[in-house]
Amino acid sequence: MAKIEIYTAAFCPFCTRAVRLLEAKNQNFEQIDVTANRQLRQKMTNLAGGRTSVPQIFIDGEHVGGCDELHKLDRLGHLDKLLALS
């Protein structure tokens, strides 16, 4: 199974959508809440190449983007391959 990290913030509907997709695929993931933690948010920004929006999602250490990118990968059939579900 892939190692998944998802940086989220409270009350973020895009974060909720991304988490629900991963849960629907029965994936274990580490959810890192950056709501009130400037250091974690800065770490996320650095890892995500300067992106400051949430969620930011990493699969096996590779940045895949945010919620829209995650859902696009799923629509194109690439997400299951990244998650080793195929």
What is the per-residue pLDDT across 5-54, written as a single tens digit (0 to 9) for each?
999 999 999 999 999 999 999 999 999 999 999 999 999 999 999 999 99
Q: For the residues 66-82, what does the mean pLDDT come to?
A: 97
Domains and CATH numbers, the chain: 4-82 (3.40.30.10)
Q: Is the pLDDT of residue 85 over 90?
A: no
Instruction: Spell out a b/e string for 10-26, using b for 16 or more CB atoms within 10 Å of the CB, else e.
Output: eebebbeebbebbeeee
Q: Is the pLDDT of residue 86 over 60?
A: no
Q: For the residues 65-80, what does the mean pLDDT come to?
A: 97
Per-residue model confidence (pLDDT) at position 84: 86
